[in-house]
Structures are given as C-alpha cells and as structure tokens.
Amino acid sequence: MRWDGDALLMLDQRRLPRHVEWLRLSRWTEVRDAISDMAVRGAPAIGIAAAYGMALAARQGAGERDEADRGLRHSRPTAVNLFWALDRMQRVEPWTFERALEEAQTIEEEDRAMNYAIGRHGAELVPPGAGILTICNTGGLATAEHGTALGIIRTAYARDPSIRVFSCETRPRLQGLRLTAWELMQDGIPFHSIPDGSAATLMREGKVQFVVAGADRIAANGDTANKIGTYSLAVLAQAHGIPFVVAAPSSTIDGTLPNGEGIPIEHRSGTEITEIEGVPIAPEGCPTWNPAFDVTPGELIAAIVTESGVHRPPFALG
C-alpha cells in the first residue's frame, strides 16, 4: 500500500502472482470491500488498510467517522489488528483529514519498524543451517514491509545463507504458493513449496528444524489464531521435537481474552474449497466447512516473538 495524493493505492493480492495490479481506493467503502474480499490480507496489513480507510472517511467529511468505523469493523472478524487500528483512529483529535492521514501513516511506519525488530529477535532462535517450515503469507504483502514470520526468515537468511525454507501451499486460497513463493523468489531466497499434507513426512525425514508462523490474534495465555492448518503444524512439531514459534507485532495481542476460546473464527464461502480460480472442481452441491483460522494452544508454542523480544511460556501477555 501507498498513499497517492488523494487515494490509497493497494496491490491486489487476489491477482498475484500472474498479474501485478494496483487498486486506487478513494472512499472508505472501497477499503472495506478490499479487506472483506481479501484484496489485502495479513493481520498487520488489514490494520494499516483500515487506518487509511478512516483517513478517507475524514476526507469525505466529519459525518462519515462513525459509519466508517462500524463498516470497517465488520469487514473481517478475526484479525485483532483491525480493531486495534480503528480504536487508535477513533482517538484522533481534531478529526480532520490531515490529522487522520498523519495517524494512518504513523501506524504504517510503526509496523514497518516492528517487523524489522521481530526479524532481528526471531533470527536468534534459528539453528545454523536449519530447515525452516512456514505457512500462509507473512511477508511484506501481509505487513508494512519485511514481514513477521517471513521477516524472521529474511533476517536469518541474510545472516546464514545455508538455511533452507519450506513453504506450505496453504489451502484453500493458496497464499503460501501464490504469495510467499512470489516474495521468496523476489528476494532470491532458496525454498521449496510443499503440499500442506506433506509436512509430517518432511519432519520425519529430518528436513525441518524450525517452524515459524504468523498470527491474527493472540490471547493473554499465548493461544494463537492463525491461518487454518497452523494448529496441525504445531501438533506435528511437538511430535517430532521441533520448536514451533509464532511471530507477530504487539498489536496482534488481545490482552482482553484470557485464552483462545473467545477468539472469533471467520467462516468463509465454500467456493474457496470447491473452486480454483473460479473453476469448479467439486461435485455440484458439495457441502463444505471452511473456517479461515484455527487456534493453536499456547502450550504447543515454544516462543512468541514480538518487537519487544522473545516471550517464553508460560505466557502472560497483554
């Protein structure tokens, strides 16, 4: 994302990697729809987009403030960064376009700095020459820049080019195959994309020494909501004696929730399962169950890395 005079320019992640297309969003409702339709995704990026959406609301007029806040809050339910950013924008005074835009840009800059700090702290945990397994997309596309889990990988690779990366394809929307692979190729970091179901075999063969994932919401006890399939990786990592690490800025921590039971889990359209790029692949009328996230219990997490450092269990966050 970048601000361009009177509009927010947003890279349309739905079109990657085959097409690089930018959306020009000049109204807060367009930002809401971009979040809901996943033109932008990744918890930190969703929060940044929402902040710019509020700036656009301020540009449209002071009367748009509360309506925009309500509309953006309903765009996606799980990523707490969305609500954190909107709460922060609601505290902006005086409510002018200039002041709102300044705050949105500050949120973006702070996220950028947090991601580089996460990368530095997390890279210290990576064993020399490790095989690193990750899921979904947690790079620059999901944040202001550099990334959270992928930021750790980037920093670790800069220090130790012998590390190996394995990226889960991440069904059903294939963010790992479409987006993480694209970012790793842009950076020239050697990697292999893998089917989600091959992670256990990869671990059994001794090719993985470190698993790192991002987060959309972290409860006070360390229970972590992330892309569906993350919980499976944590269970597999424990079974194979491999550290499972979560990387996220502190804005992803929801200290109001004592545990993960209260994290709202978004359920999305079954067409994400039954279709690929709009092409039906399932029998017509096939029933589906499509939660976008799962919750990994804190006891399966070896460390949670934020911009402030490495947090170890038992977790007391927030």
The answer on 29 and 121 residing in a single domain is no
| Domain match, 161 and 265 both | yes
Give the pLDDT score at 313: 97
How many whole angstroms from its chain centre is CA 191?
A: 20
Give dist(CA 94, CA 48) in Å, integer.
20
Are 82 and 136 contained in the same domain?
Answer: no
Residue of 60, 57, 97, 94 whose CA lies nearest to 73: 57
Catalytic residue, from 69, 111, 216, 223: name it.
216
pLDDT of residue 155: 98
Residues 198 and 76 in one domain: no
pLDDT of 277 reads 86
pLDDT in tens, 225-242: 999 999 999 999 999 999
Same-domain pairing of 42 and 163: no
Range of the domain at 29: 2-113
**Residue 317 is assigned to a structural domain of this protein:** no
Residues 155 and 285: their CA atoms lie apart, in Å, by 46
With respect to residue 175, please indicate whether it lies within any of the assigned structural domains.
Answer: yes
The answer to the question of residue 23 being in a domain is: yes
**What is d(CA 6, CA 285) in angstroms, rounded to the nearest whole number?**
45
Q: How many domains does the chain have?
A: 2
Residuewise pLDDT in 10s, the chain (318 residues): 999 989 999 999 999 999 999 999 999 999 999 999 999 999 999 999 999 999 999 999 989 999 999 999 999 999 999 999 999 999 999 999 999 999 999 999 999 999 999 999 999 999 999 999 999 999 999 999 999 999 999 999 999 999 999 999 999 999 999 999 999 999 999 999 999 999 999 999 999 999 999 999 999 999 999 999 999 999 999 999 999 999 999 999 999 999 999 999 999 999 999 999 899 999 999 999 999 999 999 999 999 999 999 999 999 997
pLDDT tens digits for range 203-214: 999 999 999 999
Q: Are residues 270 and 241 in the same domain?
A: yes
Q: Are 212 and 195 in contact (CB under 8 A)?
A: no
pLDDT at 231: 98
Query: Of the residues 60, 95, 113, which one is the last residue of a structural domain?
Result: 113
CATH of the domain at 34: 1.20.120.420
Confirm whether 147 is domain-assigned.
Answer: yes
Residue at 316 is within a domain: no
Residues 161 and 303 in one domain: yes
Q: Would residue 137 count as lying in a domain?
A: yes
| Claim to verify: residue 247 and residue 299 sit in the same structural domain | yes
Residue 294 known to be catalytic: no
- Whether 86 and 137 map to the same domain: the answer is no
Asked if 159 and 180 sit in the same domain, the reply is yes
Specify if 264 maps to a domain. Answer: yes
What is the three-state SS of 67-110?
HHHHHHHCCCCCCHHHHHHHHHHHCCCCCCHHHHHHHHHHHHHH
* Whether 65 and 171 share a structural domain: no
Boundary (domain end) residue, out of 113, 135, 169: 113
Report angle CA 124, 127, 132 to the nearest 5 degrees.
100
Q: Are residues 151 and 91 in the same domain?
A: no
Instruction: Choose one of 67, 86, 113: the last residue of a domain.
Output: 113
Residue with tokens 């700090």: 117
CATH code where residue 129 lies: 3.40.50.10470
Q: Is residue 318 part of a domain?
A: no
